[in-house]
Structure 1
Amino acid sequence: MEELVLKEDDLIDVVVEDTEMPKEDTRWMALARVHTEKTYSQYWFYRNMRVAWDLAQEVKIRPLEDNLYSMQFSCLGDWERVMGDGPWNFKGKAVVLLEYAGFTKPSTIELNKLDVWIQIHDLPDGFFSKVKALSATVGEFIYVEPRFPDFEGNFARVRIRIDVTKPLKNVVSLVIKKKDSVQRVIFRVKYERLPDWCPVCGHLGHQHKECGDGVHAPKALVFKDIKDTWFKGPGSGPDESSNIGRGRGRGRAGRGRGRSSNSADSFDDQ
């Protein structure tokens, strides 16, 4: 009100009761943006994301302002797949999605969180109970995939929520306190289906040749090996409050190398 120089007497309020809010009209909605400062074609964004999501029914995508969209899906299956099987990317850039109830000003909502699978490598079984605490140093913990008998891989697989405005973490550390000594153990962190990131600064949204003047010594690429080379199927893991997706920890080494189905690069952009 202050910036509009309004007084209380200038306003004539319309009162809305909670029971009057048409929740059925706003179900299966989301807000979205592409994590990039570059310009891009909305047409190809719409077309490529529809292909990448492999939708059963139509999705209504409405541009709200520059690089901000509202989306409404037509069925529960499409909604669960898109919201649970990320991260998604468009031309290599992360597509940030957030569930939207439809009753908050879209411009006031921060879209900076991305759900991803990480792998904590070479973690001894005896420390598996510390996975939640370790992953919480990388992002907001969501779910850890249990180590079933058919799980293959020398790592713990964890679903977390990261802040795309902050640099990625490439390691986690554990301090072991013994009676006569203190030992720090460092474990490598890798990310599954990671969108474009900078091996120099660790931020999403650009590559190292776009960071600063683009000229960097090899030793400066400290974040270069954080993308996993062992592709995992999509899924957010079992969750008590939702049936969105199921994590999968099976596969063979080397399977799925190359472009994943979560990449919306099916067509040439123009």
Structure 2
Amino acid sequence: MPLIVATANVNGIRAAVRRGMHAWIETRTPDILLLQEVRAPDKVARELLDGWHVAHAESENKGRAGVLVASRLPLGEVRTGLAAYAPAAGAEPATDTGRWIEADLTLPDGGALTVVSTYLHSGSTNPGEEHTMVAKYAYLEKVTARLAELALSPTPSVVAGDLNIAHQNADIKNWKGNLKSAGFLPEERAYVTRWLDEHGWADLGRVHAGDGPGPYTWWSWRGKAFDNDSGWRIDYQLANQALAAACRKIEVDRAPTYAERWSDHAPVVATYEL
């Protein structure tokens, strides 16, 4: 059966709905939505996705982060956060909450699927903000530990969301001007390389798009970045080996015009044959 999985950083679900997210959903008809930066109370998020099966992980920092799984199929077990993968397992720091949620689904034919919606730290290299990169690298270590487990699972699994890392030069328009920018530092990019090369995850966007450049998934609201396609590819669907071959196509739903955008990110939509 074909299964359409869409991931999108909505940049605040209430604002996204006002700008046209529901119309996009009606046109695209995804079976599963993996959303990031929901930035809304659970009650509000569920009301805005009435008719969907919803699992939502809020951030403890009000108005920040928040990740969500919405499915037309019933959800099974839901797991939130990565506290168990910290060096000293315990409660996650507030800055790490609302960044990871995974859900198990049973497909109509009885098969299984695990989906993950994740929103990784952006980080900053600005003076005085070095602590944000420390937090990002610490979280990337936890993500790597969980990805190592999911990579070995016989259950088809997709990890999707805003990773806040452009992996290769082809993933950022102005790569030469961003060599020292958070999101394109060698240390960050090395994590993605490790996930692909050591753990066997497939970066479906790059696999299906070829060498690039692009297609980009994020453009600043400011200036002419969108009109000039001066963007970053930081939104991904990563598939483990049990799922990768089932992906038939993957597309970036870039809005036709600046005025028609409902987020500063474009949805990344994959069709799987399961």
TM-score bracket relative to the smaller structure? under 0.3
Q: Considering fraction of residues, name the structure with more helix.
A: 2
